[in-house]
Amino acid sequence: MDIPNYKAFLAVAEKGSFSKAADSLFITQPAISKRVALLEEQLGHSLFDRLGRKVFLNEAGRALLPVAQRILLEVQESQRVINNLSGEISGKLPLVTSHHIGLRRLPTVLKDFTKHYPNVRLDLAFMDSENACHEIEHGHFELGVVTLPLLAPKTLKLTPLWSDHLTIAASVDHPLALRAAQQKKALNFDDLADYPAILPSVGTYTRTIIEDPIIKKHSSLDVILETNYLETIHMMVSIGLGWSALPRTMIDKGLVEIPIHGLHIQRELGIVQHTERSLSNASKAFIKQALS
């Protein structure tokens, strides 16, 4: 079994381009074309339809895709099992996290981890928590440090690390802030609905955590902007474009917390791993370090 040929096939399937797939594997385009051609010859079927510069999986390619993914996962699993026998904590640790956690929560953990385990090479990627969980489900990363899903599939194991308290925030001169200062008491849900909001995208874990309790009390919100980068939301709120719900750790002199009667928002941040995937010694050491 020629593993490089399967890697080439999966890269082309993912990128939809031989040149982009070659770049992702750090090989030349002729080399990746040759690997795919050898695999097609071995299987006796073409795997792609080539339309101009784009390539698409044909029927045979779509049938092979999940099989090729399982083959590579089994190869990676066997490598981890054998490597773990030595007990040595070294090698590559594929880790995915969200931008906010990577900026605000992980630096101290990573600093301590690399200090204690200098022979581990971090392979760190940044993406939305939802995409990160999807990537872990499909075996592309060993671990994720993300916003934990409210309802996780059975294939994912969740380990909480931090409780992240969210609070309604607005700029110091926003009408909500002025109203709260004038009334000197918590506002209600209808007050929020009177002003435009800036929130994470629909379908994200954080958007659901923020919006669900508010929608239960009020039928709708006027959401004028959506972005999954909390740092960007912080900036937009600080210049008065709208209100949002942000982690309390992000409230600074440009923002004020707006108390809302009966509203308590919290999300859990933590580690996500595949339930059926054995962990490398490096992954086990990272989890132990993060929990300490």
Structure tokens at 209: 């955590």
Q: 119 and 153: one domain?
A: yes
Residues 203 and 215 in one domain: yes
- Shared domain for 13 and 157, answered yes or no, is no
> Range with the lowest mean pLDDT among 17-31, 107-121, 207-221?
207-221
pLDDT tens-place string over residues 84-100: 666 778 888 989 999 99
pLDDT of residue 26: 86
- Give the domain extent around 201: 164-267
Q: Are 262 and 273 members of one domain?
A: no
Same domain, yes or no, for 58 and 123? no
Mean pLDDT of the chain: 90
Whether 181 and 241 share a structural domain: yes
For residue 219, the model assigns a pLDDT of 66
Question: Of 83, 113, 138, at which residue does a domain stop?
Answer: 83
Q: Which of 72-81, 162-171, 211-220 has the highest mean pLDDT?
A: 162-171
User: Are residues 73 and 112 located together in one domain of the fold?
Assistant: no
Range of weakest confidence among 19-23, 40-44, 215-219: 215-219
* Pair 282, 144 in one domain: yes
Are both 274 and 147 inside the same structural domain?
yes
pLDDT band of 220, cuts 50, 70, 90: confident
pLDDT at 183: 87
Residue 69 has pLDDT above 70, yes or no: yes
26 and 171 belong to one structural domain? no
pLDDT in tens, 102-152: 999 999 999 999 999 999 999 899 999 999 999 898 888 889 999 999 888
Whether pTM > 0.85 for this model: the answer is: no
Task: Determine the straight-line distance between the first and last CA of the chain, rounded to whole angstroms.
Answer: 43
Compute the distance between CA of residue 250 and CA of residue 27 in angstroms, rounded to an integer.
Answer: 43
Residue ending a domain, choose from 53, 83, 113: 83
**200 and 274 together in one domain:** no
In this predicted structure, what is the pLDDT of residue 277?
A: 83
What is the average per-residue pLDDT within 173-195?
90
Label residue 209 by pLDDT band (50, 70, 90): very high
- Check whether residue 72 and residue 197 sit in a common domain: no
State how many domains the chain has.
3
Cα 291 to Cα 268: distance, rounded to the nearest angstrom: 14
Q: Name the nearest CA neighbour of 125 among 233, 268, 24.
A: 24
d(CA 274, CA 283): 12
